[in-house]
Amino acid sequence: MPFSALRRLLVGGIMATLVSSLLPWSSALAEDAKTVRIGYQKFNSINILKGTGALEKALAPLGVKVSWHEFAAGPQLLEALSTGAIDLGHAADAPSVFAQAANKPVIYLAAEQPYPRGIGLVVREQDYLTSVQDLKGKRVATGRGWNAQYLLAVALQQAGLSYKDITPAYVNNAADAVAALQSGSVQAATLWDPFLAAAQSQPGLKNLRDGSGLSNNRTFYLSTTSFADKHRDLLKTFFSELSKVSQWANAKPDEVAALLAPQLGINADVLQVASERRNYNAVAITPQIIAEQQRLADTFEGLGLIAHKLQVADAVYPVSLLP
């Protein structure tokens, strides 16, 4: 079996979790969280963790089940998190800032490594656009609060343009952005992996600009203070299993692609391209990462897309949950 190596790797962690079944949080958890509800989007370390079944095995001795909830993009996931429909999940940098700006009770638990090549501005070759400057006066499909919307904003700034120099065509998901581009109703679309990798594989489409030098495009793991305070040890188990899967994913992008292709309905070759340019390892929220997010928040405020100044540090959970 292609994932036997991963399963062997997980045995040690599973056995360690069995030993921990008498932890003091287990009885409290049984009363108010017999099922932990996790939100995910296509193609992420949480998505990979779901595919392996490792978290279910680690939590089974404690009588805790896992339910998985897929979302089209970060804004929808964070809305569900803020309303109590899920307990934790992941989202990119921009949706996380917009959630805080909307006073949603979500908090940063950890971050992923930079992933600048995982976002892009995609155009059609037949439109002969060769630089970001060529987007002046054009319609661009993007989403409100997307990580790739931030790329669009800062790429325009670097090119000596402003957000007002393009006409944003707001869509709700990546599929709609690609459809608008292919139909010619827009001249560019902002995308993220794996949708970016899929678009790059299509004849006639090309990536005009990725995030290199402009955005670190980090994924963040988020929850609420109330859940984190009650279930720190559960979250530590989650991050422990996530760490094992992430290390495997970094070393075996081809196996990641084979694992996710059936459940995502995306070609394994596309997923491998996206996985090879990503580092899945979670890291603690550092002052540097907070400063990155603050620059992002300040940029959106300057564009008038966020109504007031916010302090990113206020939404960072003060306790490290990483192994």
CATH code assigned at 265 = 3.40.190.10
Give CA 171 to chain center in angstroms. 18
What are all long-range contacts of 247-250, with beta carbons under 8 Å and residues at least 24 apart?
247/281, 248/5, 248/6, 248/9, 249/45, 249/48, 249/275, 249/280, 250/279, 250/280, 250/281
Q: What's the Cα-to-Cα distance from 181 to each of 30, 73, 187, 196, 207, rounded to whole Å? A: 49, 19, 6, 13, 12
- Number of structural domains the chain divides into: 2
Would you say residue 320 lies in a domain?
no
> Quick one: 14 and 105 in the same domain?
yes
Would you say residue 167 lies in a domain?
yes
**Mind listing the pLDDT tens digit of every residue in the chain (323 residues)?**
333 333 333 333 333 333 333 333 333 443 455 999 999 998 889 999 999 999 999 999 989 999 999 998 899 999 999 999 999 999 999 999 999 999 999 999 999 999 999 999 999 999 999 999 999 999 999 999 899 999 999 999 999 999 999 999 999 999 999 999 999 999 999 999 999 999 999 999 999 999 999 999 999 999 999 999 999 999 999 999 999 999 999 999 999 999 989 988 899 999 999 999 999 999 999 999 999 999 999 999 998 989 999 999 999 999 999 99
Would you say residue 50 lies in a domain?
yes
> Quick one: 28 and 100 in the same domain?
yes
> Quick one: 108 and 79 in the same domain?
yes
- Backbone dihedral angles phi then psi of residue 282, each to the nearest 5 degrees: -80, 145
Query: Which domain-ending residue is among 181, 210, 239?
Result: 210
- Name 205's bridge partners: 124
Query: Which tokens go with 211?
Result: 């995030």
What is the spatial order of strands in the sheet that 167-170 belongs to?
A: 167-170, 139-142, 188-192, 119-124, 205-210
> Quick one: 156 and 296 in the same domain?
no
> Quick one: 13 and 107 in the same domain?
yes
Query: Which domain-ending residue is among 182, 210, 238?
Result: 210
> Quick one: 75 and 140 in the same domain?
no
Would you say residue 322 lies in a domain?
no
Classify residue 174 as exposed, middle or buried by CB count within 10 Å of its CB (0-12, 13-18, 19+): buried
**What does the alpha-carbon distance between residue 160 and residue 141 come to, in Å, rounded to a whole number?**
20
> Quick one: 97 and 222 in the same domain?
yes
Q: How many CB atoms lie within 10 A of CB 175?
A: 12
Helix/strand/coil for 9: helix
Question: Domain limits at 146?
Answer: 122-210
Signed CA dihedral, 268, 272, 278, 282: sign only: positive
> Quick one: 83 and 222 in the same domain?
yes
| Structure confidence at residue 33 (pLDDT) | 52
Would you say residue 244 lies in a domain?
yes
> Quick one: 145 and 65 in the same domain?
no
**Which amino acid, 169?**
A
> Quick one: 145 and 272 in the same domain?
no
**What does the alpha-carbon distance between residue 161 and residue 50 come to, in Å, rounded to a whole number?**
42
Which candidate, 39, 100, 110, places its Cα nearest to that of 72?
39
Query: Which domain-ending residue is among 194, 210, 226?
Result: 210
> Quick one: 109 and 143 in the same domain?
no
| Structure confidence at residue 303 (pLDDT) | 87
- Backbone dihedral angles phi then psi of residue 202, each to the nearest 5 degrees: -90, 135
**Which amino acid, 12?**
G
User: For residues 323 and 236, is the Cβ–Cβ distance under 8 A?
Assistant: yes
Would you say residue 259 lies in a domain?
yes
- Backbone dihedral angles phi then psi of residue 70, each to the nearest 5 degrees: -90, 140
Helices and strands in the chain, H and E counts: 14, 11
Would you say residue 294 lies in a domain?
yes
Helix/strand/coil for 206: strand
**What does the alpha-carbon distance between residue 219 and residue 311 come to, in Å, rounded to a whole number?**
19
| Structure confidence at residue 296 (pLDDT) | 95
Would you say residue 323 lies in a domain?
no
State which H helix or E strand residue 267 sits in.
none
DSSP for 72-106, please give it.
SSHHHHHHHHHTTS-SBEEEEHHHHHHHHHTT---
> Quick one: 100 and 31 in the same domain?
yes
